[in-house]
Amino acid sequence: MLMTWKLNVRTDSRKTYHRKRFWAGILLAQAVLFYLLSLSDRAVSLFERFFAWQKNHHQLIFAGTEFSAGDVFYIVLVIVFGLIFYYLSRKSLRHRAVLSLFILLNLLYLTYHLWWGMLYFQKPISDQLPEVEITEEKLKDLAKRYLELSRESRTEVKEDRNGVFKVYDAVKLQHAIVEIQNEGPLFNNLNSERSVLSFKPSLYSSIISFTGIQGYYNPFTAEAQYNPELPSTYLPFTLAHEHAHQNGFAREQEANFIAFLTGKNSGDANLRYSTYYYVLKSLLNALAESDPEFVKEVLRNYSPGMKRDRMAELMFRKKHEGWLEVFFGITNDLFLKSNRQDGAVTYSYFVNLLVRYEETNALKR
């Protein structure tokens, strides 16, 4: 009887070992397959169309929930991974835990790339804009222009009791963003599928405030999560950025560009101010190293309200700075670069798109 039991144990271990090798091989095969598909424009185009189809179905399912279903999914996922790693510490369960880990990674890797990951390899928006020479003088001229637009639009928004810009009706703002992006393609791009209202405050807002994350798109539920604790200067542009992701613009700086077009074409004063202010900050960041005195001069010419808004941003960042922000900054930078994007620490691509767009439209006027 004892000999039979030992033989059964060896047989089960051998089967588990072969299954682990099988699922590990499938994971590697997936990585190779998706890499090869990312090199084909036709394949990426098919994934774009599939994204539009599955996104609409996901939004029908999850948009109606008052809470973030995607965040709940992540919580469940963390629990499952925690159990697997716990079982890895138990010698008698280690082989099955490794097998479970490989199966779970395969499922997540497959669904992520089917529903979202392949969109990082779309033809870039920059291919649709003419090449122009980007000079420091052009950046300065744009900075001066967006300073005036920011000052003007700042007079149209509401303040809190401390005189800081405050968005009092986030739902109205969200409707304005969906409406402007659903009116038609903001740019000559296939990503013009209509979306429904599916913005959700993050369940992790108290944590992500310490990471530098302002919002994120959940590819498993097609929800746009945002941090409700953000200063109002960040909030409207962040919502427009995440909605651009919902419409299939995967690259971070391209989502920023679509958010810029959304704010530029919107009748909502909050969104316009947040957009103009974001563009101004991006231009000043681009000039900070080459001409710090110019940047200081622009900051001195902020309106009193803009100066209060800037101070509120600095206080928010000071309150929430720490090792988590550094850690997430590094990991996000690596993630962006692994998907053939500029890292998180550069505004060069967004500024490049901005200058080329502005110069092209100036010639039409």
Which residue from 223, 116, 242 is spatially nearest to 181, judged by alpha carbons? Answer: 242
CA distances from 340 to 68, 121, 232 (A): 29, 8, 31
Which residue from 262, 257, 302, 297 is spatially nearest to 150, judged by alpha carbons? Answer: 302
Average pLDDT value for residue range 187-214: 78
Its pTM stands at: 0.88
pLDDT value at residue 116: 96
> How many whole angstroms separate alpha carbon 193 and alpha carbon 163?
39
**243-289 tens-digit pLDDT:** 999 999 999 999 999 999 999 999 999 999 999 999 999 999 999 98
> How many whole angstroms separate alpha carbon 212 and alpha carbon 280?
19
Average pLDDT value for residue range 290-318: 95
Measured from the Cβ of residue 9, the count of other Cβ atoms closer than 10 Å reads 10
Spatial contact of 143 and 282, defined as CB atoms under 8 Å apart? no
Q: Which of 38-47, 148-157, 277-286, 318-327 has the lowest mean pLDDT?
A: 318-327
Instruction: Output the six-digit token pair for 129.
Output: 């804009």
In the chain, where does DSSP find H-type helix? Answer: 2-38, 41-62, 69-88, 94-115, 136-154, 170-182, 205-208, 235-246, 252-264, 269-287, 292-300, 304-320, 323-338, 348-364
Domain spans of the chain, in order of start:
2-121, 125-364
Strand partners, 215: 226
**224-246 tens-digit pLDDT:** 999 999 999 999 999 999 999 99
What does pLDDT average to over the chain?
A: 86
pLDDT band with cut points at 50, 70 and 90 for residue 336: very low
pLDDT value at residue 283: 95
Give every CB contact of residue 190 below 8 A, 6+ residues apart in sequence.
Answer: 45, 48, 248
**40-76 tens-digit pLDDT:** 999 999 999 999 899 988 988 998 888 999 999 999 9
Q: Is 274 exposed, middle or buried (0-12, 13-18, 19+ CB in 10 A)?
A: buried
Q: Is 77 a residue whose pLDDT tops 90?
A: yes
pLDDT band with cut points at 50, 70 and 90 for residue 197: confident
CA distances from 292 to 284, 295, 314 (A): 9, 5, 18
